[in-house]
Structure 1
């Protein structure tokens, strides 16, 4: 039963990336990205950057299929090193082309990743609607 749900989930992932323009950075990068236009309230980050409606941002996605194929054989330290090298690959990828015009890189995760701050990310609380969506998603998993 679990393998059926995984196949359905991976099929949904492929459809989702096609519909929403999510692209792969490389075959071994744990991240995928999409260029978006921000439509929410202004957000001020700790470095003074302000993201306003109409600004471009990069939406960061976890490459679930790659992660699931590798995670079962990887220890936590190796996973951290993989994330670090993937972030370096991400930086190279966004230096040129349309991604270079983005003001912010933003992602949403269901994981509690306080350690992500050491990579230069900020953690922000979700609003009530976002929390509800994530809660439903977690129940599905």
Structure 2
């Protein structure tokens, strides 16, 4: 059943990609970047990050989206939740240098204050450099939970409804300064 749903999702993914104005990052130092991105104007409440960067309404950010169809295909057949978590961590870690390069080379680079994402996978985000911030608008939080539900169901073999029900989506923020410090000269382990 999961295979059929993933096949259907793969058919609709290019339409989603088109209407969300996402951009695929070039493959720099990694075989494929797991992120699809776009410039966005932040519409939330004021956020002050740990490095002092202030994100205000209408500031320019790079919104990162994990390419979920590709990720689910990569995770297919892996039964260990720990192995899946390690793979996701590695994909994100190896893709962030491409985001940093994109921002550095973007004609709007001086306007971009940071990157933003939304996830229900909050473990180890801080180790990657992200700051996890609660979504304060309850309707938006509920909407994002519903949007993530298919991904949660398809990606986990054994996760019970009780565990999924108690997961909550959060914002992930990282300033461009921190992104550059951590990933500008990032070298993969073993290279």
TM-score class, shorter-chain normalisation, is 0.7 to 0.9
Match of 2:124 among 115, 131, 136: 115
Matching residue of 2:40: 36
1:43–1:52 Cα contact (<8 Å) kept: yes
With normalisation by structure 1, the TM-score equals 0.82
Question: CA offset at residue 124 of structure 1?
Answer: 0.8
Moved more, 37-46 or 2-11: 2-11
Greater shift after overlay, 99-108 or 129-138? 129-138
Aligned length: 140
SS, match of residue 10 in structure 1: helix
- 1:69 is matched with 73
Q: Which of residues 114, 118, 143 in structure 2 aligns to 1:104? A: 114
Residue segments in structure 2 that go unaligned for 5+ positions in a row: 154-191
After superposition, give the CA deviation of every residue in 1:59-90 in whole Å (9 maximum; x if it has no partner). Answer: 11001122123223774545433322211222
| Aligned with 1:46 (options 50, 75, 86) | 50
Q: Which has the larger radius of gyration?
A: 2
Q: Is the 8 A contact 1:35 1:57 kept in 2?
A: yes
Q: Distance in 2 between matches of 1:62 and 1:103?
A: 20
Residue by residue over 1:33-71, the C-alpha shift from the partner in whole angstroms, topping out at 9 and shown as x without a partner, is 110112232222222111112211111100112212322
